[in-house]
Structure 1
Amino acid sequence: MVIVASVLFVLAIVVGSVAVAGLTGRLPRNRWAGVRTPETLASEETFALANRIAGPTMAAAALLLVIGGIGALTLGTVGGFGVAAVAVVAALVTAAYGGTVGARAAAAAAPAGCGDACGCGSAPSPDASEASATISAITTESRADAAAAADCGEDSCGSCSLKGACLPH
């Protein structure tokens, strides 16, 4: 049971550290820790907002893991495993709830364009001449499709936000 408790305590430290970093705004945008959805990764501001909102539930999840670790140490083998399992499930549900709320807030606060995750406004790529040739070869029909996309709020960056949902198939 000492191994189970140790694993829960280490997980609690990791989750608690992410919670504190998210609450204080010190969690850098990354692909490993925090609330990571396309909307939250679109900009530094949305990532910080989502993780600041999810921070309290992440801290609660860390506390649940600590409680599970204490239960695993103090109860017998059967009771300790039971408390540890319940604590892990409760921590996952709690963290998932906070992540969902944070992701929704980030989606609501996301800029109208694609943010800086799609490369909008970035320097041209080495294949810019190919892209330029492709753009100049747009037919009248695809221009109508582009106009329909503009009505959907996807006019400058492609289909980052709606993934092509407004375009005819």
Structure 2
Amino acid sequence: MLILATVLFVVAVVVGGVAVAGLAGKLPRNRWAGVRTADTLATEESFVLANRIAGPTLLAAALLLVMGGVGALVLGGVTGTAVAVVAMVAALVTAGFGGSLGSRAAAAMPAAASGCGNDCNCGSAPEPAAETPADVAAAADCGMDSCGSCALKGACLPS
């Protein structure tokens, strides 16, 4: 039981730390902690907004984990294990709910203008349709299928 309670306490500290940083707007945009969806990672503002919205539920999830750890220590045995498992499931559901709210808020933000199509006209006008599957594959290999490939546009296609 001591190991289970210790794990719950450590996870609660990590989740609580992420929650506090998110609420304060100090959680940097990253791929490991916080609400991480395509919408939230699109801009710094959307990441901050999503994590501020999810912060209270993450704090609640951390509290549930602490309660599960205390329950495991105090009750012990099968009952303590059951309390810990219920607390973990409740914490996951609570954190998931907050993450969902944050993700929806980030998705509702206006889209930021990207460099795609603005700097070198890459992607701003549709390319002529490729004739064969080999042409489509060649365009993908050449880098014509993404915005980061403006410099390669058409460089490796046959004339």
TM range (shorter): 0.7 to 0.9
Q: Following the alignment from structure 2 to structure 1, what is the Cα–Cα distance between the partners of residues 62 and 35?
A: 15
Percentage of matched positions with identical amino acids: 63
Matches within 5 A, 1:8-47: 8-47=8-47
Does structure 2 retain, via aligned residues, the 8 Å contact 1:68–1:84?
yes
Which residue is equivalent to 2:127? 138
Cα deviation 1:33-79 (Å, max 9, x = unaligned): 00000000000000000000000000000000000000000002101
Matches within 5 A, 1:100-139: 100-111=100-111, 113=113, 120=116, 138-139=127-128
Q: Following the alignment from structure 1 to structure 2, what is the Cα–Cα distance between the partners of residues 123 and 136?
A: 13
Which residue is equivalent to 2:143? none
Distance 1:34 1:121, change over 3 A: farther
Number of residue pairs the alignment of both structures matches = 132
Does structure 1 retain, via aligned residues, the 8 Å contact 2:118–2:124?
no
RMSD: 2.8
Does structure 2 retain, via aligned residues, the 8 Å contact 1:46–1:110?
no
Does structure 2 retain, via aligned residues, the 8 Å contact 1:23–1:53?
yes
Which residue is equivalent to 2:74? 74
Secondary structure at the aligned position of 1:111 is classed as coil
Q: Following the alignment from structure 1 to structure 2, what is the Cα–Cα distance between the partners of residues 106 and 136?
A: 28
Does structure 2 retain, via aligned residues, the 8 Å contact 1:57–1:94?
yes
Moved over 2 A (4+): 119-124, 134-139
Q: TM-score, normalised by structure 2?
A: 0.74
Unaligned regions of 5+ residues in structure 1, if any? 125-130, 143-156, 159-169
Unaligned regions of 5+ residues in structure 2, if any? 131-145, 148-159
